[in-house]
Amino acid sequence: MVERIEDLNLPNAVIGRLIKEALPESASVSKEARAAIARAASVFAIFVTSSSTALAHKQNHKTITAKDILQTLTELDFESFVPSLTQDLEVYRKMVKDKKESKASKKDSSTTENANAIATAAAEVAAE
Amino acid sequence: MMEPKTQPPVERPPSAETFLPSSRVRTIMKSSMDTGLITNEVLFMMTKCTELFVRHLAGAAYTEAFHQRPGETLKYEHLSQLVNKSKNLEFLLQIVPEKIRVHEFKEMLRLNRSAGSDDDEESESGSESDE
């Protein structure tokens, strides 16, 4: 839930950095322009979210998927975002998968370690 | 209304890293009505595309005003000009309006009053019957 309207603001510092990245060398941004871009970004997020939700509902889905967002962006005339976003998604999915796998293998090794410890303990007990 | 060339978003290698705080993006998404569950993947996508949008908006406004000339200052007016021109930024017309001077506003009011006597129906169509 949104308690205060400021909860919808995006952090100035990050916005400033993103803007700088998009501008040519030594260009600067007025405070007012940065504030307007930050506001626009929040509204963009809400706009894309509600459009994606509508799209998902139309297909009788309750939750939005990555695909809904990509399709919405195309419908809203931001198809130029789709290729790089698709690539980011691939990298993200790979990262999540790798994380899961490394977690799983860690768990595996820890359980075998445990089993080993128990086995040695049992052997020690038996030897006594 | 002319269509500015949609320039490709700023070149950058694909990455799973985000800069904007995703908790904040989640709050923003939640503020939109009947957003259901938000999966981590969707939150990631939303954060990324909002970042792309920030870069796009800033870059396009600058390019529109100064082309690739370095060292200029991006101002509010450049943004509102771009918003006014671009079809896909129409949703920002109320968010980044063009500034007008008080005397221009007064003039507008005067013109409205003299011309607006016949079209005073406030059509706020928010009727959604289904669902």
Partner-chain contact B74 A28, CB within 8 Å: yes
pTM: 0.79
Residues A15, A56, single domain; the answer is yes
Residues of B in contact with A37 (CB under 8 A): 54, 57-58, 79
Domain of A128? 82-128
| Residue among B25, B27, B45 whose CB faces A85 most closely | B45
* Nearest CA-CA partner of B65 in A54, A118, A28: A28
Torsions phi, psi of A59, nearest 5?
-95, 20
Number of domains in chain B: 2
Residues A24, A55, single domain; the answer is yes
Residues B43, B72, single domain; the answer is yes
CATH number at residue A23: 1.10.20.10
DSSP assignment string, B52-64? HHHHHHHHHHHHH
- Picking from B17, B50, B92 by the largest number of A CB atoms within 10 A of its own CB, the best residue to mutate is B50
Residues of A in contact with B19 (CB under 8 A): 14, 17-18
Number of domains in chain A: 2
Residues of A in contact with B25 (CB under 8 A): 10, 45
pLDDT in tens, A53-84: 999 999 999 999 999 999 999 999 999 999 99
Residues A90, A128, single domain; the answer is yes
- ipTM here: 0.82
Q: Could you tell me which residues are beta bridge partners of residue B74?
A: A29
Is residue B109, in this structure, part of any structural domain at all?
yes
pLDDT band at A118 (very low <50, low <70, confident <90, very high): low
Residues B69, B111, single domain; the answer is no
pLDDT in tens, chain B (131 residues): 444 444 554 567 889 999 999 999 999 999 986 778 899 999 999 999 999 999 999 999 999 999 999 999 999 999 999 999 999 999 999 999 998 888 988 999 999 998 865 554 444 444 444 44
Residues A45, A2, single domain; the answer is yes
Residues B28, B89, single domain; the answer is yes
Domain of B45? 22-98
| Residue among B46, B80, B92 whose CB faces A45 most closely | B46
Residues B55, B104, single domain; the answer is no
Is residue B130, in this structure, part of any structural domain at all?
yes
Residues of A in contact with B30 (CB under 8 A): 1-2
